[in-house]
Amino acid sequence: MSLHPKIIDLTLDRMHRILASLGHPERHLPPVIHVAGTNGKGSTQAMIRAGLEATGAKVHAYTSPHLARFHERIRLAGELITEDALTEVLDECERANGGVPITYFEITTAAALLAMSRTPADYTLLEVGLGGRLDATNVVETPRLCVITPVSLDHQNYLGDTIEEIAAEKAGILKDGVYCVVGPQEDAAMAVIEAEAEKVGAALLKYGQDWHVWEERGRMVYQDENGLLDLPMPALLGAHQVQNGGAALAALRALAKPEAACQAALTKAVWPARMQRLRRGPLSEEAGQAELWLDGGHNPAGGAAVAEALQRLQDKPTYLICGMLNTKDVKGYLRPLAPLTKQLYGVTIPEQAATLSAEETVAAAHAVGMEAEVAADITSAIHAIIARDPNARILICGSLYLAGVVLRENG
């Protein structure tokens, strides 16, 4: 972190330079599935991985950001990278970089690609960090498959102010002759993705046209030109996970995987901090009889997804413990949650320079009609809530960085 400040500077020049110095590990990866989008990238990738692993395949996976520990970002043939292996590839990348400026995400992505190129596996799952066109992961010339999950407004200071501009950045992962599974999109975003696909020669598998997914009588139904699948609902909670599950199934079907892989994708996927129920650990013990939930969504679409998931749960008074970054649309995130929330407790995210203060989060909550007050920290907020209602539902939300703090504090 001290060597490479955590700034964002979207360009591929530094990546091409360091990868050339390392002998082009990106050219020696197992077949790559490249996943971009605003919301649902991680969940979709987790479902694809669960489906592939159910067939016996060994799968590399690269995701970001990490929650509790950096090693979560790099999974080699199904296992998190070890401390020794991580140290080795980071040191090697430092030597190859030769002290030239490079961002934190770029050099750690180079290290991930290097580690993956040296470990035998059947597939490589690469999650885009930010955008797509100029993201550090967009260095694989011919992936086996691409996926674009729903595009919405986020990171406008880097990707553009309109849905069209952001979609154009996401569509930058499209490659000539490579199929791309496209999840549900606003019409404006889909038009941009279609135009870019035609321009570069990519083939699209589009939601609503080439594949369909819906919930029916507590089951998830998926249909494409190869037939219909009647499957269990995703283990990951929320209607948005039906859409993410559909994209994962479309990807698995494009890879000619059997129905058993599709079922495993839905039932065996694990993805922390996405409407995750915390049932054990120190914070769970502090909560006593109260339900304790965790979600890392942080933009308006994420807020809407959490609101929909809450509506599916048994009716209970719901209290939020919320901390957010100052780069986010806080009111846009909180607005769909306001009608479902008894009270919000604002917290400052520890050790995050870009955190909103607890007072600023509370002010945003007041602005959208929520009752809200400041809490010194997560534990204090839990105590305040259970003093009011020992059987409450408590949702800690607003940021993946806050989620990481929670997971560490909860062991």
269-279 confidence digits (pLDDT tens) = 999 998 999 99
Cβ neighbors of 67 (< 8 A, separation 6 or more) are 272, 273, 296, 400, 403, 404, 407
Separation CA 21–CA 29 (nearest Å): 17
pLDDT value at position 2?
Answer: 76
pLDDT digits (tens, 9 = 90+) for 121-140: 999 999 999 888 999 999 99
DSSP 8-state secondary structure symbol assigned to residue 351: T
Lookup result for tokens 């190859």: 96
All structural domains of the chain: 13-267 (3.40.1190.10), 276-409 (3.90.190.20)
Tokens of 57: 């395949």
On the question of pLDDT at 156 being above 90, the answer is: no
pLDDT value at position 122?
Answer: 98
Lookup result for tokens 């650990």: 281
pLDDT value at position 155?
Answer: 57
Separation CA 233–CA 245 (nearest Å): 9
Q: Beta strand 59-62 with 74-76: parallel, antiparallel or unpaired?
A: antiparallel
Tokens of 271: 């993805």
C-alpha Rg value of the chain to the nearest Å: 21
Separation CA 91–CA 88 (nearest Å): 5
Q: Where are the beta strands (DSSP E) in 37-186?
A: 59-62, 74-76, 79-80, 123-127, 145-148, 179-182
CA–chain centroid gap for 50, Å, is 15
Taking the alpha carbons at both ends of the chain, their separation in whole angstroms is: 24
pLDDT digits (tens, 9 = 90+) for 60-117: 999 998 999 999 999 999 999 999 999 999 999 999 999 999 999 999 999 999 999 9
Closest to 104 measured CA to CA, from 129, 81, 85, 80 = 129
Separation CA 62–CA 76 (nearest Å): 9
pLDDT value at position 253?
Answer: 98
Lookup result for tokens 């945003």: 364
